[in-house]
Amino acid sequence: MGLPERMTTRRALLASAGTVAVGAGFVYADSLSGSESTTDESPTDSVQFHSSRESTDFGIELAGHPIMGRMDAPVDMYYWSDYQCPFCRRFERNTLPELRNDHISTGGLRMVFIQLPYLSDGSLRAAVMDRCVWRQVREDNPARYWQWHSAVFDAQQEAGSGWASRENLLAVTRDVDGVDADAVDTCMQNDREGIESAISDDSDQARQLGFGGTPAFVLYNRETDTANGLVGAQPYERFDEEIASIEDT
C-alpha cells in the first residue's frame, strides 16, 4: 500500500482495523525471523520515565502506564507487549536501543508501555506485576521500572513453560535493586481484581485497533492527529521511516 493510505486519523484507523491481516493504517512486518543481538546500553541512560493521569487525543488512558521520553514530545508510540512474547524481547534488544538514541532521547518521541497479555496465564500474571511495580516506583524512582522490565525479559523462556510463575517472577523482582518484592506481592494479592480490569480494558482497545498479538505499535502525531500502526519485531529502519513520515504530516 502507498504511504498516503497509511496516514490516517484515529477515527479512520479504528474504522479500518477489523483484522491484523489487512486494512489501511497499518504497516506489517515482512518477517518475524532473524538473529537477535544484545546491547549493554540501558534505554534510561539519556531518557526519563514519567507517569501521567491524562488521556491522549488518540484515546489512550495514560494512568498506570510507564512513559519513556519527554512529556512534550510531539509523537507518541503506544507499545503493546506480552512478557512471554519472544518477538517483544527481540524488539527490545534489537530495535528499542536505536529508537532511544535517535528519537526518544532527542525529544521527538515518547513511548507508552501497555500490556497485552494473551499467550497464557503467566502473561496476565506478569502484566499484573508490571502494574504493581510501576505503582511502587513511579513517584520516587521511575527508572527502576526499566530495570525490572528488562530483567523479566532477560528471564523469559518458552511461553507456557511455567517460567512466569508467581514464585519465579518474585525471584526476578528480588534481584532488582530498589524494587520491594514483598510490596509487589501484596499489591498483586490485594489489588489484582482492579488491575486485571484495567488490563482487560487495554486489551479490548488493542483488539478494536485490530491487534491480536504482540508486539504492536501505534505512532501518533499529537499535533496533526495522524497515526500509523505497525505490527511485529520489525527492524529499526522500518520504524525510522514511519516516524519520519508521521513527523512530516
Tens of pLDDT, residue by residue over 189-228, are 999 999 999 999 999 999 999 998 999 999 999 999 999 9
Burial label, 244 (beta-carbon count in 10 A; 0-12, 13-18, 19+): exposed
Taking 50 as the threshold, does the pLDDT of residue 102 lie above it?
yes
User: What cell numbers appear for 117 in the block?
Assistant: 497479555
Taking 70 as the threshold, does the pLDDT of residue 238 lie above it?
yes
Taking 90 as the threshold, does the pLDDT of residue 182 lie above it?
yes
* Residue 14: pLDDT band with limits 50, 70, 90: very low
Taking 70 as the threshold, does the pLDDT of residue 7 lie above it?
no
Structural domain count of the chain: 1
Sign of the C-alpha dihedral computed for residues 243, 224, 61 and 216 taken in this order: negative
Looking up residue 7, the CATH number of its domain turns out to be: 3.40.30.10
Q: What percent of the chain has pLDDT over 90?
A: 71
Q: Which residues of 88-99 are buried (b: 16+ CB within 10 A; e: fewer)?
A: bbbbbbbbbbbb
Structural domain of residue 104, as residue ranges?
3-247
Report pLDDT digits (tens) over 18-61: 333 222 234 434 333 333 333 344 444 556 888 888 999 999 99
pTM, whole model, 2 decimals? 0.84
Report pLDDT digits (tens) over 141-173: 898 999 999 999 999 998 778 899 999 999 999
Mean pLDDT of the chain: 84
Taking 80 as the threshold, does the pLDDT of residue 139 lie above it?
yes
Q: Which residue has the higher pLDDT, 6 or 198?
A: 198
